[in-house]
Chains A and B, each alone.
Chain A
C-alpha cells in the first residue's frame, strides 16, 4: 500500500519559538545561549547568525565575535518541548501515528489511508503548516512523501520555508540530482568515503549495485543502497510506541569538572527520576548514564538495578556505578543524561530477607514526595544537592 508521510520542519526551532514569544527578535540575528555562564556554548542560532559563521556548540564569546549584532537569548528547553507539543497537537486529529522530535522542530505524521476521511495528504500537511504559522508566526517547511527518509530530504531541500511533494514512484528521480549530504542518515564518515569514489550526488551513488557498495562499505551498503534510492520502510513511531523510560537531563553552564557539582547533579537527577517513577508506580531495572564533555565526546555507560527499585539512594547507587566508568577524563562535562529503563511494576512477591536500610529509605522517599508535593520541590533538599543547584 502506498504510504503518505508528512514531515514538518521548523528551521532553527529554538529561535523560532523565542521569536514567537518576543517579536523584537524578528528580523535580526539571534543566538540562543546561556548568557550568565562564563563559558557558555551556542544552543541554537538563527539563519542570519549561521551565515555569519555561528555554529551549534561553538563557545559563546567566539560566536559573539562572529556575529556581534546578534540578540542573545537564554535557552529554555522546557518551553521548546511544550512548543513541540503545541505543534503536534492538531496532528492527532488526523492520525494517531505522530512522531515529534525532542524539542527540535521536526514532526512526522503518517496519514496513510486517511484521504477519504480528511482529504488528500497535501491538504492535511497544508493545514498543519498553517497551524504552525499561527503558533510561531512563520510557516515551516513541509513535505509529503512516501516515506520518512524522502520526506525529510524534501524539507531539507526547501528549508527554511516552502513545501515539496514527492509522489509514489518518484523517490529515486527526486533524490538523483541532490547532493549526498542532503540524504538523511548519511553522516560525515560515509560522505567522505563516497567523495573519495568521486560520488557527489545521490544519482551517482544509485548507479552502484548492492554488492559493489558492499565492497567498500560492508554492512552499511544496504542502508546506503536504499537511502540513495529513497527507500525507507521505517514506521512513524508515536512516543507511546517507544519502550518506556524515565529520562532526566542536566546541562551544565558553565561546564564543570568539579566532583561536588557533578555528584550533586547526579543525585538531583536520581531524585527527580525517582519521584516520577514512584508517581507512575513503576520500578526501574537499569540506569543508563551519558556524559557529554565540552569537546563533544560522549561516554554512555550503564548499570543494572537488582531488584528493580524506585528508591532514590538505590537509583543513585546504580547511577554512581555508571558514573565511575563514564567520568574518566579531565575535560569538563557539559551535559548529563540519566535514563532509567527496564521499567516494571513493583514485585508483588516480597523479598524473603529484605534489606532493612532500603525499606527505611523507601519510607523516607514516600515522605519526601508528600512534603514536596505540598511545599514545592525545594522544600526539603539533601545536602549533596545544594552544591549543584
Chain B
C-alpha cells in the first residue's frame, strides 16, 4: 500500500499535520513513498520535498482538485515535468477561471498526470478522452461506490485504494474538529457530521489499510502499480529569469553594457574615472556570466517610470545598478562591497529591492502586472497561526465573550518563540511579566492546550507586500496561481518557495518616507520656497548639526529612541558615521555600541587581528555591517566568498543554531591555519554571533542614509512643511500624538482644524501647522472630500450653510464640532449650541412623519439656554475625537493630581544626573528586548510639556510594572537619572498610572 490521498495542514481548515510530521509518521509506519495531495493547492510542495529528503521518503507530487459546481473531485498525481506544469495550469484555472469545470480542465491538460476520481461519470468521460485515470476507492467496495466499481469494470481501469487522510495520528482528531469549527464560524457542538472528516481519516499503517480493504486486495495492489509510474520527485532546479525582448533582437548583455555606460556618464561626467570603468567591467562580466543581464534591464525599466525610488538591500552595492538609476548611492565613493550582492559562487537568485513612495507602490505593481499579462504574479505570504490569533479563535469556539478574550490576547506576544514551545503553553504564558495579575479559570486551560496545537499552522494566504515574479512565458506553467482578495494574481508559494522554484523575485516595496519627502517638497514649492539646484543634504552643516544632536524625530530610519540616543552620544552627524550608526543598532550589539562610542571619542584601540585591520578600518575595528561577517570569515579563516556568504545568510535564519556548529568548527580551524590564536578567533566569533537575528549590510544602510539626510534637511529648513508631511503620511515610528508634541517643541504653532481652512492632509507654512481633516476620527473619506470640494465653490458662511452643502451624518457632525472644526460658527452657547443647531437642521430634513405638527414650527424653535462648557470637558472631548490637543499638552490635564507631588520636568532631568527623582510623563512608545539571560526588559519613551524622556525598565521593574503599562496614558515615575556621553535616561524603579482630576 502506498498512501496516495494525504493532506497536510496546507489543506486550510481541514488538515492538521505539517508535511514534516506526515513524512516522519510515514517513515515510522514503514512507508518508503508518500503522496501529498492538498486540496486545490501546492502550498506545501517545498516543505514536503525537503521533509522527504530528511526522512528518506520518495515523494509523490499531486493535488486533490475539486469542482466548485458539482462537488466532484479528482486526485491529480504528477508523472513528469510536463505533468507538473499541467497540474499548475489546472490549479490556476480552478482558482482564477469563472465557470471552472474539472472535467474539461483535465481533458485539456491530461499529459503527464495520473488522475484518480471517485465519480463514475468523470471516470467514463476521461477514459473516453484517453486520460490516464483510475477509480478512487476511499473505503472498501460497498453499495455506496457500486456505480464507480461498475464503471471501472466496464472501462477496464483499476480501482485504487486511497483512503482520505487529514491527520497523521488519531490524537489530532480534536484539532481537526477545532479547525472545522473555526472555518465554519460555529462551535464544536453545532458541527454537523458532513462538516468534518470521518473519525478514521488518519494516516494508518499498511496493515490497517489491508484490513479495511480486505474485500478488495487488488485495490491495494493497484496503489503500488500507480506509484511505480510516478517517477516525478519535484521540479528540476533552474533559475527562471524575467525576459528581456527588444525589437532589434540584440543580446541583453550588450544592451545592459550600453545602458550602464550611458548612465555612468550621466553620473560621473563624460570622462569616466579609471576605477569606475574597471569596476563597471568587472560587474558587467559577472552579471553576463551569471546570466542576470535581462534581470537588471527589467528592473531598470520598472524604475525608470517612477519619479522617486530608493534601492535597498545589497543591490545598492552594484555600480551597474547605480548607473541604471536603480540605486542612488555611489558604491565607489562609499566603498560598497559588490561580492555581497553577486558572486559567481552564489547559486540563489540575487535580490534587487526597490522602495517606492508607499501610496505609489500599488500603481507600480499594477503597471508591471499589466505590462506582462499572464507572465507576472506576486509572491504570496502564508499567514500562520500566531499566539494571539490561535488563542482568540479557540476561545471564540469555546464561546467566551470578546472582552474576556482580548483581556488575555492583548498580553500575549505577537510571535511565537520556539524555545518556549517545549514548556506547556499556559505555563509559559503565565510566566510572562505582562500576564501577571491575570488568572485562567476553566475553560482557559483547555483553550490554551488546544490553541498551542494550532501554533505555526497556516491560517490563510495573503500577498507579500512587494514581491513580483516575471517569467519568460505563461507563468502558470511554472507555479499555480490564485487571485488574492485585493485582485492581484499570486503564486501559491511564499518567497522561500519562489526561490526554491528558481523564480527570480523583484521586491517593489512601499516606503512612507519617500511619500513624506515628496509631500514636503511639493508643499514648500507651493509656499514659494525651493530647494538648491544641486541638492546635497548630506553636505549641509545645519542638517549635520541636527543629526549630531539626535533632533531627528520624524526622519526616516534614524528617528527611533535608540538611534537618537546613539546620535547624541556620538555627537557626529556626517554621512559616513550615520551609515555606521544605523547599522550598529542591533538587538545583540549593545556592548559593541558602547565600545564604538568610546573609540569614537578618542578611546585607544588596536585591531583585533592584523588580518582584519583592513576589513574593519573604517568602523573603528568593530564589525558593523552584515558583510563584515563574510569578509572577516574570508580574511581570518580562509573561507571562500560563497562559503562566507552562506555563513552570513545562516545568521539571519531562525534555525541557525544547528547550522552554526559546523561553521564554528570550520572558522576556528581556518583561523588556526592562518596562525590566529584561539582567544582572538573566539573574540571574532562572538562578534559574528552578535549579528544573529537581523542586521544590515552597508549598501542598504548607505542607500537609506541618503533618504535620512533628505528628511533631516527638510526638517531643519522647512519644519512646518516637513512635520505636516510626516503626520499626513502616517505610519511613522511614533503616533500622531507624539509628532504633534514634537512640532510644538520645535516652536511650530498648531492651528486647530477648521472647515474653511483645513485640507484633508495636514498643511504647514511659515512655522504654522494646520490640522488636517484626516485627523478627525469618524470623519469618512467621502465627507472630507465633500468639505474640500464644496469649499472650492466658496467658503462656508454659517453652520447651516455648511450642513446643507456637505451633508455630514450625525456622527461626523458631532466629531467636527467637538474637534473645533466648526468653532468659527460658534455663538455664546458654545459647541453645545452648535450641536443643538445641527440637531435642528436634521429635524428639518427628516421625512414627514407623525411629528408633522412640530415640523411646521421647527424653523422657529429658538436655541435653548445651555450652561457653559467646563474647560476640562471641552479638552477631553477634543482629545477623544483628535487623539491630541491643539493648544495644550494633555499632561496639563493631570496637573491637578500632581499639584501635591514634587516632580521634575523632562527637560530638567539632565540637572539631576546621578540622583533619584520623581517625574510624570505620557507614554508614547516602547520596545521590549531580552537580556543576555533572556529576561524581558523594556525601553520606554515618555514625554511631558517640556520634552521627551527615555526610561529603562530593567527586568525586575519590568516584571513588576509591565501589566500596568499601556501606550497613550500618563504615569508617575520614580527612578535614578543616568548620564552617558551627554545623554540622560531614567532607570525606573517605580511606576504608577496617573488618575485624571476634574480640576483644571
Task: Give residues in A with beta carbon < 8 Å to B.
Answer: 38-39, 59, 61, 65, 196-200, 204, 207-209, 211-212, 214-216, 218-219, 254-260, 293-295, 330-333
The yes or no answer to B832 lying at the interface (CB within 8 A) is yes
**In the bound complex, do residue B854 and residue A197 qualify as a contact, i.e. CB atoms below 8 Å apart?**
no
Query: B864 contacts which of A39, A61, A212, A331 (Cβ < 8 Å)?
Result: A212
The yes or no answer to B142 lying at the interface (CB within 8 A) is no
State whether A330 and B396 are in contact (beta carbons under 8 Å apart), knowing that A38-B441, A39-B441, A199-B866 are contacts in the complex. yes
15 contacts between A and B (CB under 8 A): A59-B404, A61-B441, A196-B835, A198-B832, A198-B866, A198-B870, A209-B864, A212-B861, A212-B864, A254-B442, A255-B399, A256-B399, A259-B190, A294-B399, A331-B402
Query: Known pairs A216-B839, A330-B187, A330-B397. 19 more at Cβ < 8 A?
Result: A38-B441, A39-B441, A197-B835, A198-B866, A200-B867, A208-B864, A211-B858, A212-B864, A214-B851, A216-B836, A257-B398, A294-B399, A294-B401, A295-B403, A330-B185, A330-B186, A330-B399, A331-B401, A332-B398
Task: With both chains docked as a complex, state the minimum distance between the C-beta of A242 and any C-beta of chain B, in angstroms.
Answer: 28
Q: Which residues of A contact B403 (CB under 8 A)?
A: 295
The yes or no answer to B419 lying at the interface (CB within 8 A) is no
Q: Which residues of B contact A211 (CB under 8 A)?
A: 854, 857-858, 861
State whether A215 and B832 are in contact (beta carbons under 8 Å apart), knowing that A198-B866, A255-B399 are contacts in the complex. no
Of B398, B401, B865, B869, most buried by chain A (CB within 10 Å of CB) is B401
**In the bound complex, do residue B400 and residue A331 qualify as a contact, i.e. CB atoms below 8 Å apart?**
yes
Q: Which residues of A contact B832 (CB under 8 A)?
A: 196-198
Q: Which residues of B contact A215 (CB under 8 A)?
A: 836, 839-840, 843, 858, 861
Q: Which residues of A contact B864 (CB under 8 A)?
A: 207-209, 212
Task: With both chains docked as a complex, state the minimum distance between the C-beta of B796 and any C-beta of chain A, in angstroms.
Answer: 21
Task: Please give me the residue from chain A that is nearest to B191 by CB atom.
Answer: A259
Task: With both chains docked as a complex, state the minimum distance between the C-beta of B827 and any C-beta of chain A, in angstroms.
Answer: 14
Measured in the bound complex, the distance between the Cα atoms of B869 and A197 in whole Å is 8
Task: Please give me the residue from chain B that is nearest to A207 by CB atom.
Answer: B865
Q: Which residues of B contact A200 (CB under 8 A)?
A: 867
Q: How does the 8 Å CB contact mask read for B844-881 relative to A, with 1 for contact and 0 for none?
A: 00000001001001100111111111100100000000
Q: Which residues of B contact A256 (CB under 8 A)?
A: 399
Task: Please give me the residue from chain A that is nearest to B877 by CB atom.
Answer: A196
Task: Please give me the residue from chain A that is nearest to B814 by CB atom.
Answer: A196
Q: Which residues of A contact B404 (CB under 8 A)?
A: 59, 294
Measured in the bound complex, the distance between the Cα atoms of B190 and A259 in whole Å is 6
Measured in the bound complex, the distance between the Cα atoms of B191 and A258 in whole Å is 11
**In the bound complex, do residue B443 and residue A38 qualify as a contact, i.e. CB atoms below 8 Å apart?**
yes
Task: With both chains docked as a complex, state the minimum distance between the C-beta of A299 and any C-beta of chain B, in angstroms.
Answer: 14
Q: Which residues of B contact A59 (CB under 8 A)?
A: 404
Measured in the bound complex, the distance between the Cα atoms of B698 and A220 in whole Å is 68
The yes or no answer to B275 lying at the interface (CB within 8 A) is no
**Which 10 pairs between the two chains have the least Cβ-Cβ distance?**
A38-B442, A257-B399, A295-B401, A332-B399, A216-B839, A259-B189, A212-B864, A208-B864, A294-B401, A198-B867
Q: Which residues of A contact B836 (CB under 8 A)?
A: 197, 212, 215-216
The yes or no answer to B439 lying at the interface (CB within 8 A) is yes
Q: Which residues of B contact A330 (CB under 8 A)?
A: 185-187, 396-397, 399
Measured in the bound complex, the distance between the Cα atoms of B443 and A128 in whole Å is 47
Q: Which residues of A contact B398 (CB under 8 A)?
A: 257, 332
Measured in the bound complex, the distance between the Cα atoms of B835 and A129 in whole Å is 46
State whether A216 and B835 are in contact (beta carbons under 8 Å apart), knowing that A61-B439, A199-B867, A209-B864 are contacts in the complex. yes
**In the bound complex, do residue A258 and residue B835 qualify as a contact, i.e. CB atoms below 8 Å apart?**
no
Task: With both chains docked as a complex, state the minimum distance between the C-beta of A190 and any C-beta of chain B, in angstroms.
Answer: 14
Measured in the bound complex, the distance between the Cα atoms of B442 and A61 in whole Å is 11
Of B398, B441, B854, most buried by chain A (CB within 10 Å of CB) is B441
Q: Which residues of B contact A257 (CB under 8 A)?
A: 187, 189, 398-399
Q: Which residues of B contact A258 (CB under 8 A)?
A: 187, 189
Q: Which residues of A contact B873 (CB under 8 A)?
A: 198
State whether A331 and B839 are in contact (beta carbons under 8 Å apart), knowing that A197-B866, A198-B866, A218-B851 are contacts in the complex. no
**In the bound complex, do residue A198 and residue B400 qualify as a contact, i.e. CB atoms below 8 Å apart?**
no
Task: Please give me the residue from chain B that is nearest to A258 by CB atom.
Answer: B189
Q: How does the 8 Å CB contact mask read for B215-226 relative to A, with 1 for contact and 0 for none?
A: 000000000000
Measured in the bound complex, the distance between the Cα atoms of B858 and A204 in whole Å is 22
**In the bound complex, do residue B867 and residue A204 qualify as a contact, i.e. CB atoms below 8 Å apart?**
yes
Q: Which residues of A contact B397 (CB under 8 A)?
A: 330
Q: Which residues of B contact A196 (CB under 8 A)?
A: 814, 832, 835
Measured in the bound complex, the distance between the Cα atoms of B185 and A257 in whole Å is 13
Query: B402 contacts which of A39, A219, A295 (Cβ < 8 Å)?
Result: A295
Task: With both chains docked as a complex, state the minimum distance between the C-beta of A294 and any C-beta of chain B, in angstroms.
Answer: 5
Measured in the bound complex, the distance between the Cα atoms of B181 and A257 in whole Å is 13
Q: How does the 8 Å CB contact mask read for B435-447 relative to A, with 1 for contact and 0 for none?
A: 0010101110000
Task: With both chains docked as a complex, state the minimum distance between the C-beta of A41 and any C-beta of chain B, in angstroms.
Answer: 10
**In the bound complex, do residue A39 and residue B442 qualify as a contact, i.e. CB atoms below 8 Å apart?**
yes
Q: Which residues of A contact B185 (CB under 8 A)?
A: 330
Measured in the bound complex, the distance between the Cα atoms of B839 and A218 in whole Å is 10
Measured in the bound complex, the distance between the Cα atoms of B187 and A216 in whole Å is 43
Measured in the bound complex, the distance between the Cα atoms of B873 and A333 in whole Å is 39
Task: Please give me the residue from chain B that is nearest to A263 by CB atom.
Answer: B189
Q: Which residues of B contact A219 (CB under 8 A)?
A: 851
Task: With both chains docked as a complex, state the minimum distance between the C-beta of B742 and any C-beta of chain A, in angstroms.
Answer: 32
Measured in the bound complex, the distance between the Cα atoms of B395 and A295 in whole Å is 14
Measured in the bound complex, the distance between the Cα atoms of B835 and A212 in whole Å is 12
Q: Which residues of A contact B835 (CB under 8 A)?
A: 196-197, 216
Measured in the bound complex, the distance between the Cα atoms of B404 and A209 in whole Å is 44
Measured in the bound complex, the distance between the Cα atoms of B857 and A273 in whole Å is 53
Q: Which residues of B contact A65 (CB under 8 A)?
A: 437, 439
Task: With both chains docked as a complex, state the minimum distance between the C-beta of A65 and any C-beta of chain B, in angstroms.
Answer: 8
Task: Please give me the residue from chain A that is nearest to B838 by CB atom.
Answer: A216
| CB within 8 Å of A: which B399-425 residues | 399-404
Q: How does the 8 Å CB contact mask read for B274-302 relative to A, with 1 for contact and 0 for none?
A: 00000000000000000000000000000
Measured in the bound complex, the distance between the Cα atoms of B190 and A332 in whole Å is 13
Measured in the bound complex, the distance between the Cα atoms of B839 and A216 in whole Å is 5
Task: Please give me the residue from chain B that is nearest to A261 by CB atom.
Answer: B189
Q: Which residues of A contact B858 (CB under 8 A)?
A: 211, 214-215
Measured in the bound complex, the distance between the Cα atoms of B864 and A340 in whole Å is 47
Q: Which residues of B contact A208 (CB under 8 A)?
A: 864
Measured in the bound complex, the distance between the Cα atoms of B400 and A293 in whole Å is 10
Of A198, A207, A209, A218, most buried by chain B (CB within 10 Å of CB) is A198
Measured in the bound complex, the distance between the Cα atoms of B190 and A316 in whole Å is 19
Task: With both chains docked as a complex, state the minimum distance between the C-beta of A205 and any C-beta of chain B, in angstroms.
Answer: 9
Measured in the bound complex, the distance between the Cα atoms of B447 and A332 in whole Å is 14
Task: With both chains docked as a complex, state the minimum distance between the C-beta of A58 and any C-beta of chain B, in angstroms.
Answer: 11
Measured in the bound complex, the distance between the Cα atoms of B867 and A200 in whole Å is 9
Q: Which residues of B contact A294 (CB under 8 A)?
A: 399-401, 404
Q: Which residues of A contact B400 (CB under 8 A)?
A: 294, 331-332
Q: Which residues of B contact A197 (CB under 8 A)?
A: 832, 835-836, 866
Q: Which residues of A contact B865 (CB under 8 A)?
A: 207
Measured in the bound complex, the distance between the Cα atoms of B190 and A218 in whole Å is 43
Q: Which residues of A contact B869 (CB under 8 A)?
A: 198
Measured in the bound complex, the distance between the Cα atoms of B867 and A361 in whole Å is 68
Q: Which residues of B contact A331 (CB under 8 A)?
A: 399-402
Q: How does the 8 Å CB contact mask read for B820-844 relative to A, with 1 for contact and 0 for none?
A: 0000000000101001100110010
Of A197, A212, A219, most buried by chain B (CB within 10 Å of CB) is A197
Measured in the bound complex, the distance between the Cα atoms of B832 and A212 in whole Å is 13
Measured in the bound complex, the distance between the Cα atoms of B188 and A258 in whole Å is 8
Measured in the bound complex, the distance between the Cα atoms of B443 and A290 in whole Å is 25
Task: With both chains docked as a complex, state the minimum distance between the C-beta of B398 and any C-beta of chain A, in angstroms.
Answer: 7
Task: With both chains docked as a complex, state the minimum distance between the C-beta of A258 and any C-beta of chain B, in angstroms.
Answer: 5
**In the bound complex, do residue A260 and residue B442 qualify as a contact, i.e. CB atoms below 8 Å apart?**
no
Task: With both chains docked as a complex, state the minimum distance between the C-beta of B852 and any C-beta of chain A, in angstroms.
Answer: 12
Task: Please give me the residue from chain B that is nearest to A295 by CB atom.
Answer: B401
Measured in the bound complex, the distance between the Cα atoms of B935 and A44 in whole Å is 42
Measured in the bound complex, the distance between the Cα atoms of B862 and A212 in whole Å is 7
Measured in the bound complex, the distance between the Cα atoms of B835 and A219 in whole Å is 18
Task: With both chains docked as a complex, state the minimum distance between the C-beta of A187 and any C-beta of chain B, in angstroms.
Answer: 19
Task: Please give me the residue from chain A that is nearest to B189 by CB atom.
Answer: A259
Task: With both chains docked as a complex, state the minimum distance between the C-beta of A332 and any C-beta of chain B, in angstroms.
Answer: 4
